Chains A and B, each alone.
Chain A
Amino acid sequence: MHPTDEELAGAYAERGDDHAFRILVERHQEKVYGYLLGMVRDRAVADDLFQETFIRVIAALRKDRGSYHHQGRFLGWIMRIARNAALDHLRTRKKWQDVPDNEDFSWWDTLPADDLPTDDVLQAGQEADILMACIDRLPPEQREVVLLRHESDLTFREIAALTDCSINTALGRMRYALLNLRKMLEVTELPVGA
C-alpha cells in the first residue's frame, strides 16, 4: 500500500525522512513541471522554477509542520507555490520587456500573434509539439486551466480555488479552450480523432 502525500510529508517534517520527501518529489514532478513548462515555455526557466518551488516546500515543511492540511490536498498546496513562482517570474519578465534596451525591439512583438503555428513547427511532425504550440496560442486564462487540469491533474474545484474564480468560470474557460484548440488543430490538418 502506497503512503499518502500527507503521510510522506509528515514523515519528512517530523522525522526528517529524506526518502519520504524524495518519493513526494518524484510522485509529483511531472504534474508540477508540466504546468511550469507550459506557463514559461522555456525548459531552463522551468527547471529553475521547479527547484525554487520545492525549496519553498522544504522551508515551509520545516517551519510550519503540516501547514498544507488547512489548504486541501497536498498537490494543491504545492501547485499554489509553483503558480506563485511562475507568476513572479512572468511579472519580472514583463517588467523587463516593458523597458527594452534595443531600439529595434518593439513592444508589440511581445504580444501573442493571432496567426497559427508557423510552418517550421508544423513540419516538425510531432503531435505533441503541435499541440503545445496551439496551447501557447490560447488566452492566458484558458491556457492555465488546460495546464492545471491536464498536466497537474487538479479538479475544477481546486482550479477555481487556486485561480480565485468560481467553478462555473473555470468550466467556461476550459470549454472555450477545448473549442479553440479544436479550431487550431483543424487548420493545421492534424487528425483530431487520431
Chain B
Amino acid sequence: MEDQRKQTLLHLYDEPREDSDLRALLADASVRDEYRTLSEVKFKLDRRPAVRPDAEVLDRIMAAATAPPSAQRTDRPAVHRFMRPRRLLFSGLAVAAALVLAVALGWFSTPDPETVPGTTPPALAADTELSWDDATHIRQVYRRMDSMRPQSPLSWDEPPVPLESLPSGRPGNLVPVGAN
C-alpha cells in the first residue's frame, strides 16, 4: 500500500514509471482520497509566486563573470616548504650572520692583558721609573738615611735594644731611663 501511494505521487508530479498505471492505483478508495488531498496541496504550492534576488546581486555576479580570471582569487599551488629555494637562501644567510656575530662578540669580549692587574711582565716593572721617585723630598729622606747608617751599630734588621746597653759616646740629648 505504501508503494502504491508513492507511485501516485510520481504520477502527480509527472514522473510516472513506464509500467505504472494510475487508474489501477486509484482503484483503492483510501489511495484515491490521499491522491486528491495531495493534489490540492500541490496545487497551492504551484501557485506560489516566484521570488528573485535583488537586481544588484545580478549586477555583481555579471561583474565577476566579465572580470579577467587573474582578477579573481586563485589558489597558488602547494610547494613543499623545505624545497623552496628562497627559504633555503634565507636560512643560509641567517646562519652565516649568526656565526659572524658570535665571532665578533667573542673577539671584542676578550680582556686586554695590559689592562688587567698582575699581568705585567717583571722585566717591565724593574725598568720602569715611577714619576713620584723623582720628588725632591723623597731624595732628601734617602740621603739622610744613608748618612745616618754608618754612625749606628744597629742594623735595620736587628731587634730593638734598650738605650742603656748602647756604648758611650751616644748622643747627648739622650737621657737613660734610670736617671730619673
Contact = CB atoms under 8 A, between A and B. Distances in A.
Interface of A: 12, 18, 21-22, 25-26, 29-30, 33-34, 37, 43, 46-47, 50-51, 54-55, 58-59, 62, 127-128, 131-132, 146, 149-150, 155-157, 168, 171-172, 174-175, 178-179, 181-182, 185, 192-194
B72 A131 contact: no
Contacts of B51: 30, 33-34, 37
Given A30-B50, A146-B45, 19 more contacts: A18-B65, A22-B65, A25-B62, A26-B58, A29-B58, A30-B51, A34-B51, A47-B54, A54-B64, A127-B44, A131-B45, A150-B45, A156-B10, A156-B13, A156-B15, A171-B10, A182-B38, A182-B41, A192-B41
Contacts of A12: 65
A181 B69 CA distance: 46
Contacts of A181: 41, 45
Contact of B48 (A62, A131, A155): A131
B66 interface: yes
A47 B53 contact: yes
B13 A33 contact: no
A34 B53 CA distance: 9
B49 interface: yes
A179 B38 contact: yes
Interface residues of B, number: 35
If over half of B's interface residues share one DSSP class (helix, strand or loop), that class is named, otherwise mixed; here it is helix
A95 B177 CA distance: 114
A47 B57 contact: yes
Contacts of A127: 44, 47-48
B146 interface: no
Contacts of B65: 12, 18, 21-22, 54, 58
Contacts of A58: 61, 64-65, 72
A59 B72 contact: yes
Nearest to B3: A168
B10 A179 contact: no
B39 to A, nearest CB: 9
Contacts of A182: 37-38, 40-41
Contact of A179 (B37, B48, B49, B64): B37
A168 B6 contact: yes
A47 B52 CA distance: 9
A181 B42 CA distance: 10
B58 to A, nearest CB: 6
24 contacts: A18-B65, A26-B58, A30-B52, A33-B51, A37-B51, A50-B57, A51-B53, A51-B61, A55-B64, A131-B45, A132-B48, A149-B13, A150-B48, A155-B15, A156-B13, A171-B6, A174-B9, A175-B38, A178-B37, A178-B41, A178-B42, A182-B38, A182-B41, A185-B44
